[in-house]
Structures are given as C-alpha cells and as structure tokens.
Structure 1
C-alpha cells in the first residue's frame, strides 16, 4: 500500500503542521517519535516534495502543505466520526476556549466542569486569551472578549455583561504617598495597569460624558494578569484603573481597598462570547453550549454587578472620613 493511502500518515502530518514538533505529535497519537518521522518522510518521498520546513524550530508547513492540511482535516475528522459510529461510541466534542486567565480561574472553571458532567460527550480545553484571528486560524472555538469587535462579519457575538470599574488602591498606599484629588494628580503615582493581546493600555477615564486628559503616571507596572494587579494593590504598591471589581468585592467591603476619584472610571468592559459563524452553524454542540453559557453568565454576572455596585457605593461613603485624614498629592 502506498503511504499516501495511509490515514495514520496524514494524521501525523496534520498534527505536526500544527504543533511544529514531532515529539508533541507522537505524544498526541500515542506513537513512537521515529515512527512519526518515518511516516512524514515517506509521504514527502512519495509526493516528491517537502511538506515541512525543518530548518526552522518549530517546524513550519510549506505553502503546499498548508493547502493539503486544510483538505485533509475534514476527511480525517469524518473518518474518526465514522469509526466511532460503527463502534457504537458517542461522538466526542472538544471545545477550545480562549479566555482571560483570571476570570477563567475565578468564575468559569467550575462551571465548565459541571457542564461536562451533565454533557459527557463535551470536553473543554482552555487556551490563552486571544483575538478573533484565533477563531479564523482554528486555534480556538469560542472566545471570551471584553470589548466590542471592530468587525463582526464572520462571527456570532453573544453579549452577557457590561460594566465599568472604579479607580482603586489600598488605604496604606494613600497614607504613604498621599491622595490624588484629580485625575491629573495620578502623574505623581504608580499605575498598575492591564495589557493583553486584546486590551491596550487604558489612556483615559470617564465621568459620565466627560473624558479626562490623557493619563500620566510617575511609574508604570504592566501585566496581562488581573490577579497579579490584585496582589500588588493589597501590598500597597500602586493604583489601578483596570481591575474588575468582581475579583475583590470582599476586599472592598472590608476596607482593604478603597475607590478613589469618585465618579471617574475606565471605559466599560463589554463582555461577550464569540464564535466563528460557519462553525456555529455546523456544530450543534458548540452552538448549544455557547447559548447556555451566554445565558448563564448573563444571570450570574448581573448578580455580581448589582452586588458590586452596592458595595462600591458603601465603600465610597465609608472612605470619606478616611480621605479627610490623608495628605493630598
């Protein structure tokens, strides 16, 4: 039998084109590394041209290989489904979710595990936070995004929450460095800000329809992880405009963190679930899960926002006495 008629060889090629690593492919296929290499080399020999650029690490598929992979993937998927059906095995659905790391840890992980227990054919893989390109490049099946997409043409967008966040720091930080009375006074302070693939730096604050001047800081610390910002706040290291209050309601309630610059907030988080339109239409399990998750999050997020706003309003009232005793910066 020609190697080109061996589905195992095509599966080895497709996975290696994606992973860029023969060792990872061998692990995924439960196969010896030399066997994976032989299968791919045999394909190249029979076809008469290279499929992978092995001069680079990780390996890169050639242009021809990219086309072959796009044609082979649906065939391999259908073949696996046919085998499962013929063996009486329910088809499995793996849903890859791209999400900010901190909200996955704090709010989503338990919910996803619970869904898998009631839907045993559905499994989840959490992948790094990403933009819409990850859906188009087949690197994720669903994204949790925190701002409105600039172009929704190829996507199904399911909004579930909109909220903003106040400017926060610890009382001890204010005792050490003084209370900024205006947004412009932040230039004398350390800013703890969020920067991710999908979120550039917060450059303005808003009070109703009023926009602040461009934010300036004495010192900046940037991170992709909101929980890292939380730890730094609690260690009295700076001021943040970017920490979603759902991560620290107890700390605000207990007075460990206080909202400052009343009324000024960053632009709203516009939280949505995003899927690729064609995949949403063809994959009923993905569509059913996305509908359920959007509704579930809309309900639980609304509770968090209402509770959070009450706690913040009370914290602002409680902070008035503290502010009177603090030096201004």
Structure 2
C-alpha cells in the first residue's frame, strides 16, 4: 500500500472549497436583498434551523447573528415537530438550511411555518426543491461538487453555507450601524469587552488612596506621600483642594539631576503644572491611548471643579486586562 499523500489531499480540499466560496459571489441576487430586508425588519427573533451538518452550521450562524446585533437562536427541526415549534412566533423570521432542500425534518415544519405566517428564508443548493419554492427568499449556494472525493460528506456545501451566513450577519451589522462598543456588550468576558466597557471609575484609586499634598509642601514630605500611596506620583492641590499639578518619578529624577535640596525645596518648584487629567466616566481604553501618546505612566481623575477624585497608572490598566 502506497504512502498517503496528506498534503496533496489537503491542498485539493482547500482549493475546491475556495472555488465554491468564490463562485458564491455570482449567486447573490435580489433574493439576498429580500432576505436581508426580512431580517432587518424582523420584530421578533431570527430562528435558524437545519439537520445534520447543516444544523451545526446553522448553530454558528445563529450565534454570529446574535453577537452582531440581530437576536437569534437555533431550533432543531426534529425537536420542532415535538413541541419546540412553540418557540417560533409570527413575529420571527426563519432561516432553514438544507443542501438538497428536501430534508424530511425541515420539510415537515414548512406548512406550519407558513400557517403562522413567519417569513421563511432558505439556504440550499437546489433552487427547485420543496424548501426553496416554499421560501420567501431562497439563497442558492450552487455547489455542484463536494470536496469529499466520494461526493458524500458535506464539505464545500457547508463551507458556503457558513460564508453566506456570515455575509448576512455582516450586511445586517452594517445596516444597523452596529459599533465595536455594541459588540463589546455581547462579549463582556472577552478582551474587547474589557477594553471597551471598562470605565476609569472601575479601576481608579479613590478617596484616601489618592496621593495628595498641598501647595508649599516640602519635597521631602511629598516623597513620603508618593511612597505611601505607591502610584509613583502625587497630586498637588491648593487650599480649596483644586488641582495645581502633579509630581512623578520623572520629576524627581530631573530634580536630582539639578541637585535640588529635598529638605528645603517646595514641591511647587519641581512639579509638573496642571498635569494630564481624565473624567471618571472616560473609558479605560482612552487612558491607555493618552498615556501612550504622551509617554506618561499615570493619570489624575478630576471632577467638574478640577478636584482630584482618583488616580491610576499603567499597572492598573495592565491588571484590569486593558493592555
């Protein structure tokens, strides 16, 4: 028995599936527009159904739609005939996947969907099938040859189903004006969610943890405050508690280079006036951009009266997973 040529097999499979996806572009027509309109105007949920491998693809399509601004879930067609059809209402839109368009479990529920007047979108390779002709919009994948050399295992057909599902989801995403922040709300546990949803108020040091000294404080005493609060900086405020400036590790190095006397020099003479501030409602991701642009490691959080109410540094952003 000859040695299997795994690489040639893989290259042939990828090439055949790539060609099937490329051909999909030529099959897009007014049915795709109609499908998008039905989904865009849907006041309920987008229900996706399919049997076997098409069902697995359908689950992914439903998940993609749900995470990109189009509420959606998957209903197994076999279970639909045994009670789960109650999950579907006339306000919903149904997307049914079947390569042949004749899948028995899907065909069984078509009359019931029509009776409840739920719009039906189909994704098939047979434009003359039972499912296709019963649909309000049929999306034809047009796959004539599977990548499987036996022509049996769904390969090219399921790949094109998946790509077509992505095309629908992205078309709707753009039509809805769905933003990165909207996406983050659907993915609060991911890195994008942390970057786009986390606010300064969620991670800043507040109250007694904010380093602060009054104007006129000697540099030596100010350094003790920097050490106590362990943020590598301290704020300097006037008698009304309003921000005058900031003193950082960088300011200390510059002061030492100038041989400044720590015991007799007032903090006002060596501080950076005003300093860079942010609002507590600002996104943590904005702070990262500010720090990187200005090449600084700490920010002061102020209120409407320019009083320091918080502070954070690069380590806080790193700890919060923003970096």
Please tell me the TM-score bracket, short chain as reference.
under 0.3
Considering Cα pairs closer than 8 Å and 6+ residues apart, tell me whether 1 or 2 has the greater RCO: 1
TM-score for the superposition, normalised by structure 2? 0.24
Structure 1 length as normaliser, TM-score? 0.23
Structure number with greater Rg is 2
